[in-house]
Structure 1
């Protein structure tokens, strides 16, 4: 997640009402916690998106392989029939 001026300003606006009550270190810890949780949310969201994309790709591959398997089974049966008719 890229840190933009707007996101920093938004976080500072969240902290400013409490700035008189919080020490500088506590303000930094609060800002860090907010930033970290936002970053983790974005990372989790991206992870879920990639997982869905991967599952769709796997489902597509399964469909292709099922069709290919069906064709190979049909070809095998045809060859078995040809082979058995030649031996008769």
Structure 2
């Protein structure tokens, strides 16, 4: 599964409409990399990514409405957080 497929599955309650999602939970999905989340989910306010395999997070600053981000229990190093 691609990251986009996982996002669409989580958006079932929103008629699989990912562009207007405000909250997204992708915890414990063995995700290694997030791609294009800032393009699909521009209205995200809350993002749960805990307990995955993410080693690097990029472009979080593009999620302009993001208020809460949980990256606990991932493989991220301090030097791997880029804005």
With structure 2 as the length reference, what TM-score do the two structures score? 0.26
Which of the two has greater helix per residue? 1
Between structure 1 and structure 2, the one with the greater Rg is 1
Which of the two has greater strand per residue? 2
With structure 1 as the length reference, what TM-score do the two structures score? 0.25
